[in-house]
Amino acid sequence: MAGSRPLSLPRDTGGMTLPDGYRIIPLDDRARLDDVLEVDTWAFPIEHGLDELRQLPSPLPWGRMWGIEAVEPPAGSLAPANALAGMYGAYDLRAFPVPGDETACSWVTWVGVHPSHRRRGLLRSMIAHHFAEARGRGESLSVLNAAEAGIYGRFGYGHAAPTLSLTVPRGAELRPVAGSDALRGEFLTWDPEAHGDLVGALHRSVAQVPVGIGRPGWATWETPELRRAQDADPAILHRGKEALRLLVVSDASGQAQGYARFRRSVNWDGAVPDGTVEVRDIVALTPAAAHRLWSLLLDLDLTNRATVDMLPVDDPIMHLLIDVRAAEPRLRDLVWVRILDLPAALAARRYAAPIDLVLDVHDALIPENAGRWRVTVTEAFGPASVERVGAGGVLGAGVRGAGGVADLVLDIDALGAAHLGSTSLAALALAGRVEARDPRVLAAAAVAWSWPIAAGADWEF
């Protein structure tokens, strides 16, 4: 890049550079909190000032927060030297659920560039830095939620899990579930000290439900900072609604089977109260618990509806509701996956069916991922062995001799999109994002990469 100097990073950054006049620095303690909040509030407009935001529990992964400083403001600039121009962070998730297993991943967060410095390549440089840093830590996946869906595909992230919003009318009829009535529901005022551990444990457990299958992508609040920020309910974020409430359902032995956190609001403008139950998260370990939680949430006085903004697309409520259409289902993208270390990432998940094929992967930013890979799975729901094909590697069953045609040709973003089992390789082929030598191999690959339960999460950023 003209007018740029190289970042001092390993070669596997794809040769990206940082524009002149900037340097990347670690943000490793709270002393830079004001600078971070300043960039953040420029990147994400919010009605609250720094004084208020400073009081909020911060999820920031100090030590894995990085900033870009504008070292030399241009002549006449009113901005101070060394002002923060951009930043990003990465949560350390050691147990990110992938199909049939868990793996370490970097969850990219708090990405922002000050408007005075945008569209000069700072994000591109930060992504290059992140790839090198995460690969150096042995993390095979980078995962994120995108503020805008058009940003991250160019960096090799694939959209791997959508999310569902519902507005369920009060009293919506549910299919009966045996045992639901026997569960006790208890409404509580949310208290992180008293309830945080229970909610955290239930949230983590549901990633393994159904037993033996589990839900890929269901990330939990693994770091203490994330957990504190998720548990917090500061008044400035209530936006005219009540403080957070908790509903817990328990069996006869007192064992909790599920919870929902929610807040209500009631509009008294007309003669009839018009209230909404805004569900923040809802977790059920059993069908009876799901039925009981929703039955109680859909029968609260002075309310007309329950809304929920972030559910996996096959959440139990979709199969409990008699009239799903009345709940106005809406979809949007949520989890984006970037494969940082292809052989490690493919070996860290399970596959729904046996397969033996060769992938030809294009990766413009991480050359170590590019090329031919033989992926062999010998039993349904088993792991894969992954070997490089070609110079010094093996020749896969799918390769017709040296220089022959691989079974599937695809970009790294398509492989990332398919990684959690919810985006079909065959569907990607329909859009031209996967090329297949033989439609039968494509069909077999799509089945192998799929998963019985949809990927999803219930929190973002």
88, 96, 152, 259: the active-site residue: 152
* Part in contact with ligand ACO (CB under 6 A); list of ranges 21-29, 105-113, 322-330, 418-426: 105-113
For ligand ACO, the closer of residues 118 and 204 by Cβ is: 118
Residues 241, 278 contacting (CB under 8 angstroms): yes
* Part in contact with ligand ACO (CB under 6 A); list of ranges 97-105, 122-130, 199-207, 318-326: 122-130
For ligand ACO, the closer of residues 147 and 266 by Cβ is: 147
For ligand ACO, the closer of residues 127 and 346 by Cβ is: 127
For ligand ACO, the closer of residues 109 and 376 by Cβ is: 109
Indicate which single residue of 18, 36, 60, 108 sits in contact with ligand ACO (rule: CB under 6 A): 108
Which residues make beta-bridge pairs with 431? none
Q: Any binding-site annotation on 112? A: yes
Quick check: helix, strand or coil at residue 12?
A: helix
Catalytic (active site) residue 157: no
Tokens of 368: 């170590």
Planar angle of CA 68, 70, 74, nearest 5 degrees: 160
* Part in contact with ligand ACO (CB under 6 A); list of ranges 10-18, 142-150, 260-268, 392-400: 142-150
Our finding on whether 119 is near ligand ACO (CB under 6 A) is yes
* Part in contact with ligand ACO (CB under 6 A); list of ranges 71-79, 138-146, 230-238, 321-329: 138-146
For ligand ACO, the closer of residues 144 and 436 by Cβ is: 144
Our finding on whether 154 is near ligand ACO (CB under 6 A) is yes
Interatomic CA distance for residues 244 and 233, integer angstroms? 7
Interatomic CA distance for residues 253 and 244, integer angstroms? 27
DSSP 378-403: -STTEE-EEEEESTTSBPPTTS-STT
Q: Where are the beta strands (DSSP E) in 398-455?
A: 408-411, 434-436
For ligand ACO, the closer of residues 64 and 120 by Cβ is: 120
Cα–chain-centroid distance for residue 248?
26
In the complex, minimum distance from the CB of residue 13 to ligand ACO, in angstroms, rounded to a whole number: 14
In the complex, minimum distance from the CB of residue 153 to ligand ACO, in angstroms, rounded to a whole number: 9
Interatomic CA distance for residues 271 and 268, integer angstroms? 7
Site for ligand ACO in 28-47 (CB under 6 A): 43-44
For ligand ACO, the closer of residues 113 and 207 by Cβ is: 113
Q: Any binding-site annotation on 245? A: no
Q: Any binding-site annotation on 440? A: no
In the complex, minimum distance from the CB of residue 75 to ligand ACO, in angstroms, rounded to a whole number: 22
Amino acid at site 239: R
In the complex, minimum distance from the CB of residue 391 to ligand ACO, in angstroms, rounded to a whole number: 31
Q: Any binding-site annotation on 120? A: yes
Query: What does DSSP assign to residue 394?
Result: B
Interatomic CA distance for residues 344 and 383, integer angstroms? 12
Query: What does DSSP assign to residue 226?
Result: H
Q: Where are the beta strands (DSSP E) in 214-370?
A: 245-250, 256-267, 274-284, 305-311, 330-339, 350-351, 355-362
Q: Any binding-site annotation on 153? A: no
Query: What does DSSP assign to residue 56?
Result: S
DSSP H helices, 11-121, are 33-43, 50-54
Query: What does DSSP assign to residue 443?
Result: H
Q: Any binding-site annotation on 21? A: no
DSSP H helices, 352-392, are none
Q: Any binding-site annotation on 27? A: no
Residues 372, 323 contacting (CB under 8 angstroms): no
Q: Any binding-site annotation on 119? A: yes
In the complex, minimum distance from the CB of residue 239 to ligand ACO, in angstroms, rounded to a whole number: 20
Interatomic CA distance for residues 444 and 217, integer angstroms? 23
Indicate which single residue of 27, 128, 132, 144 sits in contact with ligand ACO (rule: CB under 6 A): 144
Indicate which single residue of 113, 417, 436, 455 sits in contact with ligand ACO (rule: CB under 6 A): 113
Our finding on whether 124 is near ligand ACO (CB under 6 A) is yes
Largest CA distance in the chain: 78
Our finding on whether 334 is near ligand ACO (CB under 6 A) is no
In the complex, minimum distance from the CB of residue 455 to ligand ACO, in angstroms, rounded to a whole number: 17
Catalytic (active site) residue 461: yes
Our finding on whether 151 is near ligand ACO (CB under 6 A) is yes
* Part in contact with ligand ACO (CB under 6 A); list of ranges 4-12, 149-157, 264-272, 276-284: 149-157
Give residues with Cβ within 8 angstroms of 190, minimum separation 6: 233, 243, 244, 245, 246, 261
Interatomic CA distance for residues 4 and 143, integer angstroms? 28
Indicate which single residue of 147, 326, 353, 395 sits in contact with ligand ACO (rule: CB under 6 A): 147
Q: How far apart, in Å, are the Cα atoms of 396 and each of 19, 169, 314, 353, 459?
A: 43, 55, 36, 18, 40
Catalytic residues: 152, 461
Instruction: Extract the annotated binding site.
Output: 111-113, 119-124
Instruction: Extract the annotated binding site for acetyl-CoA.
Output: 111-113, 119-124
Please give the residue ranges that form the binding site for ligand ACO (CB under 6 A): 43-44, 108-113, 118-124, 144-148, 150-151, 154
